[in-house]
Amino acid sequence: MALLRSYVSGEWHTAAEEGVPLHDAVTGEEAARISSAGIDFAAALEYGRRVGGPALRELTFHQRAALLKALASHLREHREELYALSARTGATLGDSKFDIDGGFGTLFAYSSKGKREMPNDTVYVDGNVEQLSRGGTFVAQHICTPLRGVAIQINAFNFPVWGPLEKLAPAFLAGVPSLIKPASQTAYLTSRLVELIIESGILPEGTVQFVAGSVGDLLDHVTAQDLVSFTGSASTARKLRAHPAIVRNAVRFTAEADSLNCSILGPDAKPGTTEFDLYVKQLVTEMTVKAGQKCTAIRRAFVPAELLDDVAAAASARLAKTTVGNPTSDGVRMGALASLEQREEVRRSLKALRDAGSVVFGDPERVEVVDADAERGAFLSPVLLKADPDRSEPHEVEAFGPVSTLLPYTSVEQVVELAARGGGSLAGSIVSADKEFVREVVLGAAPYHGRLLVLDADDAKESTGHGSPMPQLVHGGPGRAGGGEEMGGVRGVLHHMQRTAVQGSPAALTAVTGRWVAGAPREEGLHPFRKSLAELKIGDSVVTAPRQVTLADIDHFAEFTGDTFYAHTNPEAAAANPLFGGIVAHGYLILSFAAGLFVSPEPGPVLANYGLENLRFLTPVKAGDELTVTLTAKQITPRIDQDYGEVRWDADVTNSAGESVAKYDLLTLVSKEQS
Ligand code: NDP
């Protein structure tokens, strides 16, 4: 098979040498060759910064989100081709779906997050305006803007599709171009993925570059505006983290590395309970999906000492039903490891683990396989061990294959301590219906984990399981797991951006953020509800005529709505209320009157009121008080796929003394054009 090409500086690059062979994990045949010889890495980074970055920064978050969605839809049409290549890495169809469809799912999830949780703008406003002075003329706002460099993404061999897409999505949404470097062993699959991306022309030129083979002197050229995200072994992570250019320039470096993930069975989960069965099933699934080559797979299975034999017997019975072999053959449940080298590595780790205990199921040296040669292909039996939990090996040696170790415990305190001996993990499971046990273990284990799954009969049916990182949630873990936080929804996007505290006057901050800040000039004229999205400007506002609130209004509202809370209806009881000292108007009456005051009732561009946010009632309103509303257009967000958009209004309801009685953001949908 051919030499894999790289895509750098706007061109496909083929090395002028033979390259190193990569082997089919199932047959041992050569699958491709790889070499990055001749690539000018400094130029590639410069190209990303000069061409990809500006192209992305011209787009709003919503436009970037739409491109991610279009890309995911396009790639989905080619999944059969990717499944076929994935089988050569040893993956069954189920494994491939995990990797390939999981990757597309991540693109879709980020697209949706970008559209819903980020503005249709190029600047992200982070948090609330901070008032820094008494008079309100000096305020501050945190904003996030994309770094001006390249996101260098170094991936592991086990997820050739999900790995790069999981890193590309947040970088792209942030406005930072990517340079993808896959692990060599399975790079032929990532290479095809990238060809599909580039050939589609969906993403702007320069936003995706791809290096097949070693990265040469790439890291020598990183600047403070570049980022490096790494997934792989802890030893490589350590080496890269200490690279002189990374250290010198304080480059943002995140790593996701080896992790001794645990699953903890609660003492309540005796044989015959749903939780016992869930625990065993999940353990076997985690051992066999992707032949255990998952950074989140369960390596340490903690069980109450008195249940160890039961769990060992139940898990062994399930494992015995796992057919190993050619991943494309019918009935095969577990394929091969990614390479023969990987199998040797796992066998080496198994030796260390066996020193600390004994094998419960499987033979590390021999396995029966279907439709394949067990030696030429990188096949390995699932191996379940049991060991003394006081030994160090089970907490330190990660056998990156279908391997897990049963470890007995005798108390909650002990299992929390043992879980922490992993030195920081990506994922942990607690399988128990005992909520007290769950709380103690979760709070004890959380500082050492990126993600914890509590599995029980209630959530089992819909649970996504121990091993599935979700794009909405933080993926990463402390300590040994690398200290990174990849994904995590908008958090993952913001990782690629610089957060800056901007201090100034309300008018200056309004200009910078594109959001009206209280204290900035307002424009009164035509009622803003008469303006289409195209005509409306930030700061357009209406100040209503006053309306008096009477006791009859309060009585009527109480009667009409059924809200007869004593503070609105019982003068003596209300007088005794330390906050009110008498009858007060309902908060919802104030809101209703406010709507009646600011409304412009005739048909027009305002289509709907879809909610309000940040509501606070600030001053009690008594009979006789007069209310006025100032409504100001605060943020305008046209939807790119609709002929309307969202307008966020600042609503300030004041009394005749000028005090705010209620403040909130009103949310409306407004047509882009007058009809
Ligand atoms: P490595 O750390 O060797 O490689 C990971 C990535 O880093 C690959 O893309 C590799 O490229 C690249 N790389 C290696 N050395 C350098 C370098 N000096 N400069 C720049 N890039 C470099 O891990 P493996 O993929 O080989 O896996 C080994 C072990 O890592 C596994 O056995 C397992 O224990 C652990 N692992 C952990 C994962 C996790 O997510 N937590 C996932 C996968 C593995 P190349 O392939 O071209 O060398």
> How does pLDDT run across 320-378, given as a tens digit for each residue?
999 999 999 999 999 999 999 999 999 999 999 999 999 999 999 999 999 999 999 99
H/E run at residue 650? strand 644-654
Q: Are residues 90 and 16 in the same domain?
A: yes
CA of 230 to the centre of ligand 1 (A): 8
Residue 424 has pLDDT above 90, yes or no: yes
Q: Are residues 217 and 331 in the same domain?
A: no
Q: Would residue 556 count as lying in a domain?
A: yes
CA of 231 to the centre of ligand 1 (A): 7
Question: Can 256 be counted among the known catalytic residues?
Answer: yes
Q: Are residues 436 and 528 in the same domain?
A: no
3-state secondary structure 468-494: CCCCCCEECCCHHHCECCEECCHHHHH
Return the residue whose CA atom lies nearest to atom 29 of ligand 1.
233
Q: Are residues 333 and 415 in the same domain?
A: yes
Bridge-based pairing of strands 124-131 and 357-361 is unpaired
Q: For a pocket test of ligand 1, which of 233, 339, 398 has the largest count of ligand atoms closer than 8 A to its C-beta? A: 233
Q: Are residues 109 and 90 in the same domain?
A: yes
Q: Are residues 270 and 234 in the same domain?
A: no
CB atoms within 10 A of CB 148: 17
Return the closest-CA partner of residue 541 out of 525, 530, 559: 525
pLDDT in tens, 166-182: 999 999 999 999 999 99
Distance in angstroms (rounded) separating the CA atoms of residues 612 and 629: 15
Q: Would residue 486 count as lying in a domain?
A: no
Q: Would residue 583 count as lying in a domain?
A: yes
Distance in angstroms (rounded) separating the CA atoms of residues 393 and 357: 10
Burial 37-69 (b: 16+ CB within 10 A, else e): eebebeebbebbbebbbebbbebbbbebbbbbb
Q: Would residue 349 count as lying in a domain?
A: yes
Q: Are residues 387 and 431 in the same domain?
A: yes
Q: Would residue 481 count as lying in a domain?
A: no
Q: Are residues 320 and 240 in the same domain?
A: no
Q: What is the pLDDT of residue 255?
A: 95
CA distances 526 to 541, 543, 600, Å, are: 9, 11, 11
Q: Would residue 226 count as lying in a domain?
A: yes
Q: Are residues 196 and 217 in the same domain?
A: yes
Distance in angstroms (rounded) separating the CA atoms of residues 101 and 467: 15
H/E run at residue 616? strand 606-617
The sheet that has 252-256: what strands, in order across it?
11-13, 6-8, 208-210, 178-181, 151-154, 227-231, 252-256
3-state secondary structure 198-260: HHHCCCCCCCEEECCCCCCCHHHHCCCCCEEEEECCHHHHHHHHCCHHHHHCCCEEEEECCCC
Q: For a pocket test of ligand 1, which of 236, 256, 296, 346 has the largest count of ligand atoms closer than 8 A to its C-beta? A: 236
Taking the CA atoms of residue 336, residue 89, residue 234 and residue 213 in that order, the dihedral angle to the nearest 10 degrees is 150
Task: Say what the pTM is.
Answer: 0.94
CATH number for 565? 3.10.129.10
Distance of CA 137 to the CA centre of its chain: 38
Distance in angstroms (rounded) separating the CA atoms of residues 550 and 573: 19
Q: Please provide the distance, in angstroms rounded to a whole number, between the alpha carbons at the two ends of the chain.
A: 60
Average pLDDT over residues 83-91: 97
CA angle 624, 625, 627 (to 5 degrees): 135
Range of the structural domain that residue 606 is part of: 522-671
Among 403, 434, 469, the domain-final residue is 469
Q: Which residues line ligand 1 (CB under 6 A)?
A: 154-158, 181-185, 214-215, 231-233, 236, 239-240, 256-259, 295, 345, 398, 400
Q: What is the pLDDT of residue 258?
A: 86
Q: Are residues 99 and 190 in the same domain?
A: yes
CA angle 623, 628, 630 (to 5 degrees): 150
- When divided into structural domains, the chain yields a total of 3
CA of 483 to the centre of ligand 1 (A): 16
Q: Are residues 439 and 297 in the same domain?
A: yes
ipTM: 0.92
Token pair of 590, please? 């104030």
- 252, 227 in Cβ contact below 8 A? yes
CA of 324 to the centre of ligand 1 (A): 25
Q: What is the pLDDT of residue 54?
A: 98
Residues 6+ apart with CB under 8 A from 432: 264, 265, 266, 267, 268, 269, 275, 438, 441, 454, 456
CATH number for 163? 3.40.605.10
Q: What is the pLDDT of residue 353?
A: 97
Name residue 451's beta-bridge partners.
Answer: 427
Among 434, 469, 504, the domain-final residue is 469
Residue 65 DSSP SS3: helix
Token pair of 597, please? 């005051």
Q: Would residue 477 count as lying in a domain?
A: no
CA distances 563 to 276, 568, 623, Å, are: 49, 8, 17
The residue type found at 147 is: L
Average pLDDT over residues 230-241: 95
CA of 163 to the centre of ligand 1 (A): 12
Distance in angstroms (rounded) separating the CA atoms of residues 189 and 185: 10
**Residue where the block lists tokens 């290096």:** 211
Confidence tier at 623 by pLDDT (50, 70, 90): very high
Name residue 613's beta-bridge partners.
Answer: 665
Return the residue whose CA atom lies nearest to atom 10 of ligand 1.
183
Average pLDDT, the chain: 97
Question: Can 286 be counted among the known catalytic residues?
Answer: no
pLDDT in tens, 288-318: 999 999 999 999 999 999 999 999 999 999 9
Return the residue whose CA atom lies nearest to atom 47 of ligand 1.
184
Distance in angstroms (rounded) separating the CA atoms of residues 674 and 605: 6
Distance in angstroms (rounded) separating the CA atoms of residues 29 and 635: 59
Q: What is the pLDDT of residue 33?
A: 98
Among 461, 496, 531, the domain-final residue is 496
Which is the closest atom of ligand 1 to the Cα of 182?
A: 9
Q: Are residues 20 and 157 in the same domain?
A: yes
Q: Would residue 241 count as lying in a domain?
A: yes
Average pLDDT over residues 412-416: 98
Distance in angstroms (rounded) separating the CA atoms of residues 633 and 536: 8
Distance in angstroms (rounded) separating the CA atoms of residues 380 and 298: 17
Distance of CA 435 to the CA centre of its chain: 27
Confidence tier at 1 by pLDDT (50, 70, 90): low
CA distances 193 to 177, 187, 196, 215, 500, Å, are: 17, 10, 5, 19, 36
| Packed helices 79-87 and 93-117: angle between N→C axes, nearest 10 degrees | 130
CA of 98 to the centre of ligand 1 (A): 20
Return the residue whose CA atom lies nearest to atom 25 of ligand 1.
156
Residues 6+ apart with CB under 8 A from 578: none
**Residue where the block lists tokens 């909610």:** 611
CB atoms within 10 A of CB 342: 22
DSSP single-letter state for residue 290: G
Residues 6+ apart with CB under 8 A from 358: 385, 386, 387
CB atoms within 10 A of CB 508: 15
- 620, 580 in Cβ contact below 8 A? yes
Distance in angstroms (rounded) separating the CA atoms of residues 660 and 651: 10
Return the closest-CA partner of residue 298 out of 231, 384, 359, 366: 384
Q: Dihedral sign, CA of 527, 532, 534, 539?
A: positive
